[in-house]
Structures are given as structure tokens and as C-alpha cells.
Amino acid sequence: MAARRTGDLRAAVEHLALAVAMRPDLGHYGQALRGVRAALNRPVRGRP
């Protein structure tokens, strides 16, 4: 989750995906992973 806070979203996706795979019982990892994936898919201003 630290990678997400620093803005390294691609690293955050990798780390969170591993965390979800290892600990599917902890919902906050899945929630954070969905949030990071959504942030990566958001359009960027000025980009077509």
C-alpha cells in the first residue's frame, strides 16, 4: 500500500495482487487493489 501512496501505481498493483492471493480473507487488500486498478484506468487530462 505504500507504493500506492507514493504514486507508483504499477508496483502497487503487483504487490497488492500478491497480498490478495496470499491473504484473501483480508478485504482491505482487495479494496486497495480495485482502487489502484481504477486509478490506472482513469483518463489523463490532455491525453486523447
Cβ pair 15, 3 in contact under 8 A: yes
In this prediction, residue 44 carries a pLDDT of 75
Binned average pLDDT, 10 residues per bin, the chain of 48 residues: 73 95 96 94 73
In this prediction, residue 4 carries a pLDDT of 65
This prediction has a pTM of 0.77
In this prediction, residue 42 carries a pLDDT of 87
Q: Quick one: how many helices (H) and strands (E) in the chain?
A: 3, 0
In this prediction, residue 7 carries a pLDDT of 74
